Amino acid sequence: MYHRPRIIPTLLLEDGMLVKTKKFKAPRYLGDIMNAVKIFNNKGVDELCILDISATRNGKAPDTELLHDIATEAFMPLSYGGGICKIEQAKKLFRCGFEKVIFNTALLKNPKLVKEAVCYAGSQSVVASIDVKSEFFGKPVCYIEDGRERITLHPVALARHAEKLGVGEILLTSISNEGSMNGYDIKLVKSVTDAVNIPVIANGGAGHVEDLREVLEEGHADAAAAGSMFVFYGRNRAVLINMPKEEELIGAGVYDMQ
């Protein structure tokens, strides 16, 4: 037997198409998201996180038609974030087949909505997304509105605020590391995991299986999410939907033998 933390591919949608960003900028078109979902199905991933990076920015509601198609195709638990501004939209996502909804901007601008979602579906089905950029002298600064609006709360304070709203876990993304494939911001992750009593999913920067192990062990993360690592291959970042084999994860210490 061995301990098996969750490893979660994070897929980004822009206007219905699969893209990948770097530091939340310059989205690169990757293809049809349905193809990616089918491949991850075959690879037996633990969970799939889908974030629509254009919904909030453009004031659009979640594309429930596309999301219904994804949920119908997917054989793994699904979470979704982007453009959810009404409880009815969240309810529709649950009815589509999504196990979790993710809130970022609403944590501060519409906390009532977050609480309503918790009351409707339970804490385990509501995730707080916290996006953090490392600025002058490494100071961590939180952003909302898809990384466009700077706020004054420290990541630890925002995480504790989200916990008080009743969310069941936190998706913590380093904007500065996102898409870099140079490793997670371990200091940031540890500061948040040590401050709250709910699971933290680390996101932003994974490039190798060793990065996953490091953030789980040294960052105390409960799960590791990644984007580029699962959609690019090689030095030239060729598009290839992939997932490390279980033997690789065991060999790198991501899955610890018990």
Q: 49 pairs with which residues across the strands? A: 10, 79
DSSP 136: G
Contacts of 11 by beta carbon, 8 Å cutoff, 6+ apart:
18, 33, 36, 37, 48, 49, 50, 51, 227, 231
Question: In sequence order, which ranges of 176-235 are alpha helices (DSSP H)?
Answer: 186-193, 209-217, 228-231
Token pair listed for 241: 């939907």
Q: Out of 63, 131, 146, 185, which one is annotated catalytic?
A: 131
| Number of CB atoms found within 10 A of residue 66's CB | 17
> What is the residue whose two structure tokens read 């709250």?
196
* Range list of β-strands (E), 125-217: 126-134, 140-144, 149-150, 169-174, 200-203
185 is catalytic: no
The strand pairing partners of 28, in sequence order, are 20
Q: List the catalytic residues.
A: 131
